[in-house]
Amino acid sequence: MSLSGSYDASNIFAKILRGEAPCVKVWEDADTVVFMDIFPQTQGHCLVVPRDVEARNLLDLPADRLNGLFGRVQKTARAVVSALNPDGVIITQFNGAPAGQTVFHLHVHVIPRYENLPLQPHHQGKMADMDALSSQAARIRSAMEA
Ligand code: AMP
Protein backbone atom coordinates (compact mmCIF):
# COMPACT_ATOMS: atom_id res chain seq x y z
CA MET A 1 0.00 0.00 0.00
CA SER A 2 1.30 3.43 -0.87
CA LEU A 3 1.81 6.26 1.52
CA SER A 4 -1.40 7.92 0.42
CA GLY A 5 -4.82 6.39 -0.05
CA SER A 6 -7.97 5.69 1.87
CA TYR A 7 -8.25 4.06 5.28
CA ASP A 8 -9.34 0.40 5.16
CA ALA A 9 -11.38 -0.39 8.29
CA SER A 10 -10.84 -4.12 7.80
CA ASN A 11 -7.19 -3.93 8.95
CA ILE A 12 -6.29 -6.14 11.92
CA PHE A 13 -5.69 -3.29 14.38
CA ALA A 14 -9.07 -1.73 13.55
CA LYS A 15 -10.62 -5.15 14.29
CA ILE A 16 -8.73 -5.33 17.60
CA LEU A 17 -9.90 -1.81 18.52
CA ARG A 18 -13.52 -2.79 17.74
CA GLY A 19 -13.18 -5.95 19.83
CA GLU A 20 -13.58 -8.17 16.75
CA ALA A 21 -10.11 -9.72 17.02
CA PRO A 22 -8.13 -10.75 20.11
CA CYS A 23 -5.06 -9.09 21.53
CA VAL A 24 -2.92 -9.31 24.64
CA LYS A 25 -3.89 -5.96 26.06
CA VAL A 26 -1.54 -4.01 28.30
CA TRP A 27 -3.48 -0.83 29.02
CA GLU A 28 -6.10 1.44 27.54
CA ASP A 29 -7.76 4.77 27.99
CA ALA A 30 -10.32 6.75 25.99
CA ASP A 31 -7.83 7.64 23.25
CA THR A 32 -5.36 4.79 23.12
CA VAL A 33 -4.89 1.03 23.39
CA VAL A 34 -1.53 -0.57 24.17
CA PHE A 35 -1.13 -4.27 23.34
CA MET A 36 1.68 -6.76 22.91
CA ASP A 37 3.15 -7.43 19.46
CA ILE A 38 2.45 -11.11 18.79
CA PHE A 39 5.58 -11.42 16.60
CA PRO A 40 7.87 -9.55 18.98
CA GLN A 41 11.36 -8.48 18.05
CA THR A 42 12.26 -9.08 21.69
CA GLN A 43 10.62 -9.60 25.10
CA GLY A 44 8.26 -6.77 25.98
CA HIS A 45 7.73 -5.40 22.44
CA CYS A 46 4.42 -3.56 22.53
CA LEU A 47 2.37 -1.29 20.28
CA VAL A 48 0.67 1.99 21.12
CA VAL A 49 -2.42 2.46 18.96
CA PRO A 50 -4.73 5.49 18.81
CA ARG A 51 -8.46 4.70 18.76
CA ASP A 52 -11.39 6.58 17.17
CA VAL A 53 -9.28 7.88 14.31
CA GLU A 54 -8.97 6.72 10.69
CA ALA A 55 -5.24 7.29 10.37
CA ARG A 56 -3.19 4.86 8.28
CA ASN A 57 0.01 6.51 9.41
CA LEU A 58 1.46 9.46 11.27
CA LEU A 59 0.87 11.80 8.34
CA ASP A 60 -2.89 11.15 8.59
CA LEU A 61 -3.17 11.88 12.31
CA PRO A 62 -4.94 15.16 13.18
CA ALA A 63 -2.37 17.44 14.78
CA ASP A 64 -4.46 17.77 17.94
CA ARG A 65 -3.98 14.03 18.59
CA LEU A 66 -0.17 14.13 18.43
CA ASN A 67 0.54 15.20 21.99
CA GLY A 68 -1.91 12.65 23.37
CA LEU A 69 -0.45 9.79 21.35
CA PHE A 70 3.15 10.56 22.17
CA GLY A 71 2.28 11.15 25.82
CA ARG A 72 1.02 7.54 25.85
CA VAL A 73 4.14 6.37 24.01
CA GLN A 74 6.29 7.96 26.72
CA LYS A 75 4.08 6.49 29.48
CA THR A 76 4.41 3.04 27.87
CA ALA A 77 8.18 3.35 27.42
CA ARG A 78 8.60 4.40 31.05
CA ALA A 79 6.49 1.45 32.20
CA VAL A 80 8.45 -0.99 30.01
CA VAL A 81 11.70 0.29 31.49
CA SER A 82 10.33 0.10 35.03
CA ALA A 83 8.80 -3.37 34.59
CA LEU A 84 11.43 -5.14 32.48
CA ASN A 85 14.63 -3.24 33.25
CA PRO A 86 16.06 -3.20 29.69
CA ASP A 87 19.33 -1.47 28.83
CA GLY A 88 17.65 0.72 26.24
CA VAL A 89 14.33 1.25 24.50
CA ILE A 90 13.62 1.77 20.81
CA ILE A 91 10.61 3.80 19.62
CA THR A 92 9.78 3.18 15.94
CA GLN A 93 6.97 3.98 13.58
CA PHE A 94 6.70 3.15 9.83
CA ASN A 95 4.75 5.05 7.18
CA GLY A 96 3.89 3.22 3.93
CA ALA A 97 4.82 -0.25 2.73
CA PRO A 98 8.17 0.79 1.23
CA ALA A 99 9.12 2.10 4.68
CA GLY A 100 8.30 -1.28 6.22
CA GLN A 101 4.69 -0.77 7.32
CA THR A 102 2.47 -3.85 7.15
CA VAL A 103 -0.59 -2.88 9.22
CA PHE A 104 -2.25 0.26 7.96
CA HIS A 105 -3.66 1.70 11.17
CA LEU A 106 -1.21 4.09 12.84
CA HIS A 107 0.82 2.49 15.63
CA VAL A 108 4.05 3.17 17.47
CA HIS A 109 6.41 0.35 18.46
CA VAL A 110 7.97 0.37 21.94
CA ILE A 111 10.82 -2.16 21.84
CA PRO A 112 13.03 -2.76 24.87
CA ARG A 113 16.68 -3.46 24.12
CA TYR A 114 18.70 -5.85 26.24
CA GLU A 115 22.47 -5.80 25.82
CA ASN A 116 22.82 -9.59 25.86
CA LEU A 117 19.72 -10.46 23.82
CA PRO A 118 19.80 -10.18 20.01
CA LEU A 119 16.98 -8.12 18.49
CA GLN A 120 14.96 -9.90 15.80
CA PRO A 121 14.66 -7.79 12.62
CA HIS A 122 11.38 -6.00 11.93
CA HIS A 123 8.85 -8.58 10.63
CA GLN A 124 11.10 -11.50 11.42
CA GLY A 125 9.98 -12.10 14.97
CA LYS A 126 8.48 -15.52 15.78
CA MET A 127 4.94 -15.94 17.11
CA ALA A 128 5.19 -15.35 20.85
CA ASP A 129 4.29 -17.79 23.57
CA MET A 130 0.95 -16.44 24.80
CA ASP A 131 1.62 -17.16 28.47
CA ALA A 132 4.92 -15.27 28.28
CA LEU A 133 3.22 -12.40 26.48
CA SER A 134 0.45 -12.23 29.09
CA SER A 135 2.99 -12.22 31.88
CA GLN A 136 4.97 -9.35 30.27
CA ALA A 137 1.72 -7.44 29.68
CA ALA A 138 0.73 -7.80 33.34
CA ARG A 139 4.10 -6.47 34.52
CA ILE A 140 3.99 -3.50 32.14
CA ARG A 141 0.34 -2.80 33.10
CA SER A 142 1.23 -2.70 36.79
CA ALA A 143 3.94 -0.17 36.06
CA MET A 144 1.56 1.95 33.98
CA GLU A 145 -1.01 2.00 36.76
CA ALA A 146 1.50 2.68 39.54
P1 AMP B 1 4.36 -2.34 11.05
O2 AMP B 1 3.04 -2.14 10.35
O3 AMP B 1 5.40 -2.84 10.11
O4 AMP B 1 4.84 -1.14 11.79
O5 AMP B 1 4.19 -3.47 12.14
C6 AMP B 1 3.02 -4.14 12.46
C7 AMP B 1 3.32 -4.97 13.68
O8 AMP B 1 2.13 -5.59 14.08
C9 AMP B 1 4.36 -6.08 13.43
O10 AMP B 1 5.41 -5.90 14.35
C11 AMP B 1 3.56 -7.37 13.69
O12 AMP B 1 4.34 -8.33 14.36
C13 AMP B 1 2.42 -6.88 14.56
N14 AMP B 1 1.18 -7.63 14.46
C15 AMP B 1 0.59 -8.11 13.35
N16 AMP B 1 -0.60 -8.68 13.66
C17 AMP B 1 -0.74 -8.55 15.00
C18 AMP B 1 -1.76 -8.93 15.94
N19 AMP B 1 -2.86 -9.59 15.54
N20 AMP B 1 -1.59 -8.62 17.24
C21 AMP B 1 -0.46 -7.97 17.64
N22 AMP B 1 0.53 -7.58 16.81
C23 AMP B 1 0.39 -7.87 15.51
If you measure from the C-alpha of residue 122 to the centroid of ligand 1, how many angstroms do you get, rounded to a whole number? 10
pLDDT of residue 2: 75
Distance CA 114, CA 131 (A): 21
In a domain, 7, yes or no: no
Domain with 48, as residue range(s), is: 12-145
Q: What is the CATH number of the domain that holds 40?
A: 3.30.428.10
Residue numbers of the chain with a pLDDT score lower than 50: none
Domain count, the chain: 1
**Catalytic residue list contains 107:** yes
pLDDT of residue 13: 98
In a domain, 3, yes or no: no
Residue nearest to atom 9 of ligand 1 (CA): 123
109 within 8 A of 100, measured Cβ to Cβ: no
* Residue among 136, 86, 143 nearest 114 (CA): 86
pLDDT tens, 32-49?
Answer: 999 999 999 999 999 999
In a domain, 106, yes or no: yes
Catalytic residue among 105, 107, 109, 123: 107
If you measure from the C-alpha of residue 103 to the centroid of ligand 1, how many angstroms do you get, rounded to a whole number? 6
If you measure from the C-alpha of residue 39 to the centroid of ligand 1, how many angstroms do you get, rounded to a whole number? 7
